Chain A
Amino acid sequence: MQTELTEEQRQLRDTCREFAARELVPQAKRWDHEHRFPAEAVKKRFELGLAGVAVPAEHGGAGMDNVGYALAIEEISRGCASVGVTLSVNNSLYCDPVLKYGTPAQRDIWLKPFAAGDKLGCFGLTEPQAGSDAAEQRTRAVRKGDKYVINGTKNWITNGPVADAILLFAMTDASKGTKGISAFLVETSSPGFLRQKADEKLGICASPSCTIFFEDLEVPAAQRLGNEGDGFKIAMSTLDGGRIGIAAQAIGIARAAYEEARDYAKVRKTFDVPIAQHQAIQFMLADMATELDAARLLTLRAATLKDAGVRHSRESSMAKLYASEMSGRVTDKAVQIHGGMGYSKELDVERHFRDARITQIYEGTSEIQRLVISNALLKQ
């Protein structure tokens, strides 16, 4: 049984860890306060090869595996959760499906520059009335000759305000339900692509997201990803991978909170001793560390299965469910250990607490993950 990381995976993790400590940790608080997309940090991160970690080198990526990808996202998110999700969306929700479903010609245009970090991608599935119930798509793509004309609305589009392209889902045949959904690759500079102002959020404030309107947006048929009607299948299989990224992000956030709480407990004194000597604090830290490890193992297992080309829906959902819920508990305890300082914007821990909250919601709520798992369990 192999439980050790490979040399290559360890190196990637360590590089990301150093980068996060040097470039992200000192600035993450300011980016959060200013709600500023750290374009420079993202660019530097891309120079590390993190735009397409698991994309083969011939397609512009780093040519690593998904275990390495999960480790990288954890480390980056440990420094800044907003940068973590920017990275996760580009890797998992944009590059991965283009790699998997794109034609050679599509890969040249729509994958290479994105996996190489010259351009940034995003993913457009959610609509105002269609979140967990993603099949309720109202965005319509009507075929006109060798083009489609798209009308509709997408919201909560992470990277939306800054992305160069979107993987967009739209209904091409509403009578067919989920089998009538198709996927398109669209430049965000296209006429009829109307980005709204960035969302005001509880957390991950340095990761910009927005609503996008499509008004008679014309998309050449050559930019359809997969066949007509393949969209829902593409979306679901993409999210299986995306959940590994978000699980890793949740772990990174929780680890930041845990490490800060542990270090604080060693120096903060009450009743003449460091609070780390009180069992109530020790036991919280012990549970936090245990749950963190459990979440990481679940996540690396899902990534391992993805690397092996094995179906991993259930395992990815387990990783995402457990890691995100764990992140909520761990960041909550970290605030508690910090006392009043945990509530202050002077320290980072209140940001981790806010950042963790989204991980239970996006790329499938905890309830959707439980639905995936219980279906696998009860219907198998």
Chain B
Amino acid sequence: MTLFEPNEAQAQIRDTARAFAQKSLKQVAASLDREQRFPADELRALAELGLMGVNVPDALGGAEAGAVAYALAMMEIAQGCASTAVTMAVNNMVAETIVKFGTPEQQRRYVPEIASGRFRAASFALSEPHCGSDAAALRTTARRDLRGWVLSGAKQWITSGDVAGVIIVWARTADAPGTPPKGISCFLVEGGTKGLAIGKHEDKMGLRASSTVALAFDELHLPTSALLGAEGQGFAIAMSALDGGRIGIASQAIGIGTAALEEAVRYARDRRAFGKPIGDYQGIGFQLADVDTELAAARLLTLRAAALKEAGSPFTREGSMAKLFASEKANRACDIAVQVHGGYGYIDEFPAERHYRDARVTTLYEGTSEIQRVVIARDLLR
């Protein structure tokens, strides 16, 4: 065994994901994107392969394969279809969060549904129209009543919010906005609950086959048992979930970047200019060498963060480094892939332009690059 070499079980999950991504996802990704079609069949197939609860205990229907296997699988799935990958990422993140903070009852009720694919998806509802990076400024409220809680407010950019079997919703249970985030709590809201309104479907630049909606809670009643974790623990739960989520998005970004590099390499071998393949020109070959190098570094940063998570060690800084680096380099990879393709990089006959659009969100969601730098700097200046 050597540094950074996956073990047999991890390699097996990776290979399973690779086979499905290359055989099935890659063939449909362009049409899913064009038609903005939610990949319901593909997600069910992923659940059958054990990829909806990669790092979830076997007893709850998961694959119990660990955080490294999850990162490896995500890199592969995102190479096939980034929209399917982000839906998978959120499902896994929600399942893991319920495993980590939920009561046995909550775990039994929701986690097997997510892992088995019986839920079409699961959602994570933290962002609001007026606050993204500054999550502690959220305004959705939950007040107590005789039977439990009453939720009021609105959420924004909720991946799979319209098809989710369960949604983790963050709401203020005490204090005013802007105070230290002790007054934020976390709730499990089931899809179809009375008072849950699905708002606008966002028309996005990329990840067009993933569903992104606004949610509104109009006097939505929840039982006491819907509280996830302790009252006031919500912000800590969000930060913990996002630490892991960042490994997922870093992996997604690497998958998109790797797909773009592969397309660019293939094109650079085939396309000829001035009597030879364009890949033989240093102007092209050297750009591809930089992309190859940066993606390799991104992969190592991401696997390191995943390995720390798996070992139960702190990994906040390392997760942010992985997410920052991988998302920025994936964007560069996709930009170079478009450039190498010339005009063909700008039309939808080739996958390069889809990769370029899909990569763009990775520096934005689950913490912008700026937020990652804040997290890293805070840690290193301590």
- Residues of chain A at the chain B interface (Cβ within 8 Å): 1-3, 67, 262, 265-266, 276, 279, 282-283, 285-287, 289-291, 293-295, 297-298, 300-301, 304-305, 307-308, 315, 318, 321-322, 367, 369-371, 373-375, 377-378
- Chain B contacts for A304, CB-based, 8 A: 2-5
Query: Contact between B307 and A1 (Cβ–Cβ < 8 Å)?
Result: yes
Query: Contact between A374 and B288 (Cβ–Cβ < 8 Å)?
Result: yes
Query: Contact between A286 and B377 (Cβ–Cβ < 8 Å)?
Result: yes
Instruction: Select which of B7, B265, B290, B298 is within 8 A of A1 by beta carbon.
Output: B7
Query: Contact between A321 and B380 (Cβ–Cβ < 8 Å)?
Result: no
B325: interface (CB < 8 Å) = yes
Which chain B residues in 38-93 approach chain A with CB under 8 Å?
Answer: 68
The interface-forming segment of B115-123, B199-207, B215-223, B368-376 is B368-376
- Smallest CB gap from B268: residue in A: A378
B297: interface (CB < 8 Å) = yes
Query: In the complex the two chains form, what is the Cα distance from A145 to B269 in whole Å?
Result: 50
- Chain B contacts for A1, CB-based, 8 A: 4-7, 10, 68, 303, 307, 310
Query: Contact between B296 and A308 (Cβ–Cβ < 8 Å)?
Result: no
Query: In the complex the two chains form, what is the Cα distance from A265 to B377 in whole Å?
Result: 12
Known interface pairs A373-B289, A374-B285, A378-B268; A297-B2 also in contact (CB < 8 Å): no
List the 8 closest pairs (A to B, CB-CB), nearest first: A374-B285, A282-B377, A297-B300, A373-B289, A286-B376, A294-B297, A286-B373, A370-B289
Instruction: Select which of A2, A265, A290, A318 is within 8 A of B293 by beta carbon.
Output: A318
Instruction: Select which of A283, A289, A367, A373 is within 8 A of B321 by beta carbon.
Output: A289
Query: Contact between B4 and A301 (Cβ–Cβ < 8 Å)?
Result: yes
Instruction: List 17 A-B residue pairs with CB atoms under 8 Å apart, sorted by A's residue number.
Output: A3-B304, A266-B381, A279-B374, A282-B377, A283-B373, A289-B380, A290-B321, A290-B376, A294-B298, A295-B297, A297-B304, A322-B294, A369-B289, A374-B282, A377-B292, A378-B269, A378-B280
B111: interface (CB < 8 Å) = no
Q: How many chain B residues touch A (Cβ–Cβ < 8 Å)?
A: 46
Instruction: Select which of A287, A298, A369 is within 8 A of B296 by beta carbon.
Output: A298
- Chain A contacts for B68, CB-based, 8 A: 1
- Chain A contacts for B324, CB-based, 8 A: 286, 290
- Smallest CB gap from A326: residue in B: B297
Inter-chain pairs besides A286-B373, A289-B321, 10 sampled, C-beta below 8 Å? A1-B10, A1-B303, A3-B308, A285-B377, A286-B372, A286-B380, A294-B301, A318-B296, A371-B289, A374-B292
B1: interface (CB < 8 Å) = yes
Which chain B residues in 337-382 approach chain A with CB under 8 Å?
Answer: 370, 372-374, 376-377, 380-381
Query: Contact between B292 and A298 (Cβ–Cβ < 8 Å)?
Result: no
Query: In the complex the two chains form, what is the Cα distance from A1 to B65 in whole Å?
Result: 12
Query: In the complex the two chains form, what is the Cα distance from A67 to B2 in whole Å?
Result: 10
- Chain A contacts for B191, CB-based, 8 A: none
- Chain A contacts for B6, CB-based, 8 A: 1
CB distance from A365 to the nearest CB of B (A): 12
- Chain A contacts for B373, CB-based, 8 A: 282-283, 286-287
Query: Contact between A293 and B7 (Cβ–Cβ < 8 Å)?
Result: no
CB distance from A67 to the nearest CB of B (A): 7
Instruction: Select which of B1, B265, B298, B321 is within 8 A of A378 by beta carbon.
Output: B265
- Chain B contacts for A290, CB-based, 8 A: 301, 321, 324-325, 376
B279: interface (CB < 8 Å) = yes
Instruction: Select which of A262, A295, A300, A367 is within 8 A of B3 by beta carbon.
Output: A300
Query: Contact between A67 and B376 (Cβ–Cβ < 8 Å)?
Result: no
CB distance from B9 to the nearest CB of A (A): 10
CB distance from A190 to the nearest CB of B (A): 41
Known interface pairs A3-B4, A377-B289; A293-B321 also in contact (CB < 8 Å): yes
Which chain B residues in 14-31 approach chain A with CB under 8 Å?
Answer: none
